[in-house]
Amino acid sequence: MNNFAWVAPRTAAEAAAAASAVVADAMTAAPEAMGCEEAAILKAGGIDLLDLLKENLLAPTRLVNLRDVPGLDAIVEEGGGLRIGATASLAAVAEHPLVRRRYPALSDALAGSASPQIRHVATLGGNLLQRPRCWYLRAQEHRCLRKGGSHCFAVDGENQYHAIFDNQVCAIVHPSTAATVLVALGAAVELIDAQGATRSVALEDFLVPPQRDLRRENDLKPREILAAVRLPPLPASVRMAHLKQGEKDSFDWPLADVAVVVELAPDGNCRRASVVLGAAAPMPHRAKSAEQALAGKRIDESIARQAASAALAGATPLAKNAYKLPLFETLVRRALTKALALG
């Protein structure tokens, strides 16, 4: 781990002005150049960042501390929806009464993530912007595609925890469980630049698939910060659930996680549905076939089974992760069962 200077901005715009590089760019610098180039990196909870520093994957000259920027962790009601400040801790979001009442799937996803200690330090913004957990990306000795190398070690290597969709070039899975739910909910992110100007982008568009850029997972720019996550207001007839399955219950990454959000018509039929799979693809994976299988139907056990099976349409499992197919199918069915209180 290198020495670095500490920057303590007092406003979001000051923080944006100080942040000269995003983590993804700083990590693709050649190893011999690391620490020589000027790079000021944002730090919120520091959960992911300190791992990267300690593994010598990142050597910033300055860290810009977002934690003490006043008001950046506020959770406020906004026209029937919710605006969650980027530095709100996962625990604070999970326990917030309005999150629990209006977006119980988000509360469930965050309440079960990592460990209690980490949930109280990790921030929602940091969770969305963390680098993937691929063990090749996280090891200095594997100079993989995403670090500027020329080879994906996972595609023909140890890929038991990797993607089953969209995995032909780089087989990472998106690391954020929160993102699975937030994409299903249609959330947007609010970004602030050095002049204090904001832009708001749907989270689904903010995340970057490998086809667009292999070296980053999101569209955060230098001199910009992720200031908040915006949750849209939802009709009272919306039902939702999030389920995740890790190998362990304590402190483990999900092998698979699923968010379902179903809006019911007055007759009780499904008006529209979002089914999103996490730990399945480089981005939260929208299971469009499953959504189509649910639209317009009165969802019962049999429809839930059909949708679960449809959710895996088009999957291209690798040598060691085909077990994720039955796992996801089970979770989609169970998530629908839970959301709609079937059976």
Interface residues with another protein (CB under 8 A)? Answer: 51, 115, 133, 135-136, 138-139, 141-142, 153, 156-158, 160, 245, 247-252, 255, 317, 319-323, 325-327, 330-331
In angstroms, the CA 316 to CA 318 distance is: 7
Q: Are 10 and 69 in contact (CB under 8 A)?
A: yes
Enclosing H/E stretch for 331:
helix 324-339
Return the number of the residue (202 or 322) whose C-beta is nearest another protein. Answer: 322
Q: Determine the 3-state secondary structure of 262 from DSSP.
A: strand
Return the number of the residue (19 or 311) whose C-beta is nearest another protein. Answer: 311
In angstroms, the CA 257 to CA 183 distance is: 13
Query: Minimum distance from CB of 67 to another protein (Å)?
Result: 22
In angstroms, the CA 268 to CA 296 distance is: 10
**Tokens for 129?**
């912007």
Return the number of the residue (292 or 330) whose C-beta is nearest another protein. Answer: 330
Q: Determine the 3-state secondary structure of 301 from DSSP.
A: helix
In angstroms, the CA 334 to CA 282 distance is: 23
Helices 104-111 and 177-185 meet at what angle, rounded to 10? 170
Query: Minimum distance from CB of 79 to another protein (Å)?
Result: 39
Query: Minimum distance from CB of 14 to another protein (Å)?
Result: 33
Query: Minimum distance from CB of 99 to another protein (Å)?
Result: 23
DSSP assignments along 170-195, one per residue: -------HHHHHHHHHT-EEEEEETT
Query: Minimum distance from CB of 130 to another protein (Å)?
Result: 12
Return the number of the residue (32 or 247) whose C-beta is nearest another protein. Answer: 247
* All residues at 6 or more sequence positions from 59 whose CB lies less than 8 Å from its CB, including other chains: 2, 26, 34, 35, 39, 53
Query: Minimum distance from CB of 234 to another protein (Å)?
Result: 29
Return the number of the residue (54 or 298) whose C-beta is nearest another protein. Answer: 54
Query: Minimum distance from CB of 257 to another protein (Å)?
Result: 12
Return the number of the residue (38 or 249) whose C-beta is nearest another protein. Answer: 249
Return the number of the residue (21 or 308) whose C-beta is nearest another protein. Answer: 308
